[in-house]
Amino acid sequence: MRTSNPCIAVATMVLCPALMFAGTVSGKVTYTGTPVKQKPISMAKEPSCEKQHPTPVNTETVVTGANNTLENVVVYISAGGDDANAPAQAVTFTQKGCQYIPHVIALHTGQELHVVNGDQTSHNIHPMPKANPEWNKSQPPGAPPIVQKFDNAEFISVKCQIHPWMHGWFAVLKTNHYSITGDGGAFTLPNLPPGKYTITAWHEDYGTQTQDVTITGTETKSVDFSFKAKAY
């Protein structure tokens, strides 16, 4: 690609220094100790969901991978980052097979949340916030998505009371720099302009941990978190 006008190239460098000199924080979340064993869920009371799972699914309070890696950890910039605006794109939270998919979602304050029912049964979506208004809505099969927003940052526990095994989390953040660990426990926070940051890792059962990191240029800083498994 050839830049036809050198002025454009200069202007880009002046106006978007963040993109030109952006660092990355990446790492892995692991645990020590023995995590509580997750239990298989009996969906016998909801045959339309039970038949979607040839083998029963487990509870998801603590989901682990190979080499002691921990899943469903929200890693985000809790201080130092720009307090960016909410993205226009909505975040989708799906109910399928009487499970929340994914188990944890993260979204910006004020960002649209779409709750979708992909099941042949009614669900009630009941987030239990502390810093936001509490609501509770019924969603029968085939109903349009429920569209909601949360104005204040917090971790909100979500339940369906018709199917008491259904439990999930909304991580409402004041940043767009977040990553949720999946299989392998890895996370990446790209596009960080130079500066000092506080990185927070949150797990629904093991709590939060923070680490400070300084980005000076385009480097990738490695930050790992290790949670101590709760004994039950």
> Among residue numbers 95 through 114, which ones bind other proteins (CB under 8 A)?
none
Per CB under 8 A, the segment of 34-42, 58-66, 116-124, 221-229 that binds other proteins is: 116-124
> Closer CB to other proteins, residue 141 or residue 184?
141
Q: Binding string, 4-43, against other proteins, x = CB under 8 A? A: ----------------------------------------
> For residue 168, which amino acid is it?
G
Collect all residues with Cβ–Cβ distance below 8 Å to 54 and sequence separation of at least 6.
none
Per CB under 8 A, the segment of 64-72, 76-84, 95-103, 143-151 that binds other proteins is: 143-151
> Closer CB to other proteins, residue 95 or residue 181?
95
Collect all residues with Cβ–Cβ distance below 8 Å to 58 and sequence separation of at least 6.
38, 39, 40, 41
- Interface residue with other proteins, options 161, 214, 218, 226 (CB under 8 A): 161
Strands in 33-162 per DSSP E: 74-79, 91-96, 99-101, 104-108, 113-117, 123-128, 137-139, 146-148, 154-159
Site membership for other proteins, residue 51 (CB under 8 A): no
- Interface residue with other proteins, options 10, 34, 45, 47 (CB under 8 A): 45
Exposure of 70 in the CB half-sphere (CA atoms within 13 A): 29
Site membership for other proteins, residue 47 (CB under 8 A): no
What span, in angstroms and rounded, lies between the C-alpha atoms of 105 and 127? Answer: 13
- Interface residue with other proteins, options 33, 47, 87, 164 (CB under 8 A): 164
- The total of other beta-carbon atoms located within 10 Å of residue 182's CB is 15
